[in-house]
Amino acid sequence: GQSSTQTPETTSDAQVTEATEVASDAATAADEAAATKSIEPTEITFWHYMTGNLEETLTALTDEFNSTNEYGITVTLVNQGYASDLQTKLQASAAADALPDLTQAYNNWLTPYLDKIVHLDDFVANDFDNWDDIVEAYRGECSEFGFVHAVPFNKSTYVLFYNKTLFDELGIEAPKTWADVEADAKIVKDAKGIAFIGYDDSTGAIEATLKQNGENFVDETGALFDTDGGREAFEYLSNLYSNGYARLVGEDGYFSNVISNQNIASYVGSSAGVSYITAEGWELGVAPLPGNKVNAANMAGTNIVMFSQDTNKQLAAWEYLKFLTSTESTSKWAVSTGYLPVRQSAYETAEYKAYMEENICAAACYEQSKDFFYSPTFDASNDIRNSVSPAFEQLVLDKADAQTWFDTILSTINAQY
């Protein structure tokens, strides 16, 4: 909507002011923590949406914390269904002032209630073991609202899954550049008649493509890709689709199903989804995303946000967060779930190295970890995601040319501010 462009600033200004107040409270707590470090026994609730093996691992870690911490802190895990359910419940709880002490959250969930988040800057400054050890992109993402609002938790990235058997058969390698992609795609297309590549997340695909060409997608001021580099990126995408090198997932829902049935040679998807690929009769390969001018890969997954208003609870919750993000915990977490460690140092542990040895996916992720970028969150960012994807699909279906691609995406984005 055009009409709503004027006003949001006023609200966010107000939010920022309030947030600052909360921040000063938190600062006191953190100061105290540094000074005295006395925490009363307390109970902390942590809302999450982890299931199955993920939940088991989280529970194990939490049990460990509960039994080993010296303050008598008990963390209670509460599963809140799917991610979207957790999002809804957080939103409702924010409205009802019933937020939990800790929760998993994506940045884009938080915009309506930023002012309820505890600022962690002082905790990080005073009571954290080497914040710089946290993967850089994660740090950036956790402080993108102008303060440290979260610590990273279950992180993953987009990688290229490919049919190694097919690649070997055709004598091609996992593509490293756009040019490789185009070349390989032609070979596959000619030989097998199937598409070469697909993207589970189409908006993410545009963003990554732009980044790989050294351009940016959007920020709170509007689209940023009205440049030659930007046009090039769309040319690349347009070519992929109009030549039949790339395809939409369509009725299959996930590309994991498509590749499982060997109907596509490779696709770009979240590293967390590797377990849903059924490689029967062929071998799965995983590679970093191909780049162009630079390499760039989207990252995904949530962070942990704190809402406790009580100083003691904040301290207690921080103890837990420190525990979860410790090198040891994060590598343990990563090894048993397939998510990525949040600390650089975790990649160096023997445990994780051993894991990477046998897990090609983890290895590929590690290889591109320096190239991670995150999508900025601002008022219109959700709308942009939601409107670009259908536009993307329409463009593919229309076999649109590069110019149309560029114009359509640009106007779709601009309509959201």
Partner 1 sequence: MDKKSFKGYLYLLPSIIIMICFTLYPLVRAIIMSFLGNYSIINDGYTSIGFENYQALFSDPDFGKSLLNTAIYVICVVPASIILSLLFAVLINSCKKLKALFQTIYFLPYVTSVIAIGIVWRWMFNSNYGLINYVLSIFGIEPIQWLNLPEYAMPALIIFAIWKSMAFNILIFLAGLQTIPEDLYRAARIDSTPRFRVFTRITVPSLAPMIVYSSVIGMIGAFKVYNEVFSLFQGKAGPANSAMTIVYYIYDKFYNSYKYGVAAAGSVVLFLIILALTQIQLRVTGGRKGKN
Partner 2 sequence: MKNNRKVVNIIAEVLKYVILVAGSVFTILPFIWMISSSLKTPAELVQVPPALFPEVPQWLNYKSAWEAAPFARYLVNTIIVTICTTAGVLVTTVLSAFAFSRLNFPGKKTVFSLFLATLMIPGEMLIITNYETIIKLKWIDSYRAMIVPWISSAFYIYLLTRFFMQVPESLYLAAKVDKCSDFKYMIKIMVPMNKQAIFSIAILNIISSWNAFLWPLLVTNSQEMRVLSNGLVRFQTEAGSSTELIMAASCILVMPIIIIYLFLRKYIIEGVTRSGLKG
Where does this chain bind partner 1 (CB under 8 A)? 1-4, 7-8, 10-11, 14, 84, 87-88, 91, 94-95, 111-113, 115-116, 248, 250-251, 253, 382-383, 386-387, 389-391, 393-394, 397
83 binds partner 2 (CB under 8 A): yes
From start to end of 240-296, where are the E strands?
Answer: 266-270, 284-287
Residue 403, binding choice from partner 1, partner 2, none, Cβ under 5 to 8 Å by partner class: none
Rounded Cα–Cα distance for residues 280 and 138 (Å): 35
- Choice between 45 and 209, CB closer to partner 2: 45
How many residues touch partner 2 (CB under 8 A)?
35
Query: Please, which of residues 300-329 interact with partner 2 by CB under 8 A?
Result: none
DSSP per-residue letters across 233-264: HHHHHHHHHHTTSB---GGG-SHHHHHHTT-B
Which option in partner 1, partner 2, none does residue 52 bind, with CB closer than 5 to 8 A by kind? partner 2
Q: What angle do CA 315, 320, 326 make, to 5 degrees?
A: 125
Which residue in 239, 256, 298, 308 binds partner 2 (CB under 8 A)?
A: 256
The amino acid present at 193, given as its one-letter code, is G
Nearer to partner 1, 4 or 76 (CB): 4
Interaction of residue 194 with partner 2, rule CB under 8 A: no
Taking CB within 5 to 8 Å according to partner kind, which of partner 1, partner 2, none is near residue 248? Answer: partner 1
How far is it, in rounded angstroms, from Cα 207 to Cα 94?
31
Q: Extract the tokens encoding 223.
A: 């689209």
Cα-based distances in Å from 416 to 2, 103, 110, 257: 7, 29, 19, 33
> If binding is defined by CB under 8 A, does position 181 make contact with partner 2?
no
Can you read off the two tokens belonging to residue 290? 């191909």
134, β-bridge pairs:
343
Interatomic CA distance for residues 218 and 225, integer angstroms: 8
- Asked if 78 touches partner 2 (CB under 8 A), the answer is yes
Nearest approach in angstroms of CB 94 to partner 1 is 5
- For residues 175 and 167, what is the distance between their CA atoms, to the nearest angstrom? 10
92 near partner 2, judged by CB under 8 A = yes
CB of 21 to partner 2, least distance (A): 24
Does 166 contact partner 2 by CB under 8 A? no
Give the separation between CA 44 and CA 59, rounded to whole angstroms.
14
Q: Which residues contact 251 (CB under 8 A, 6 or more apart)?
A: none
- By CB under 8 A, name the binding residues for partner 2: 45, 51-52, 54-55, 78-83, 85, 88-89, 91-93, 95-98, 156, 254, 256-257, 260-261, 269-270, 272-273, 275-276, 278, 280
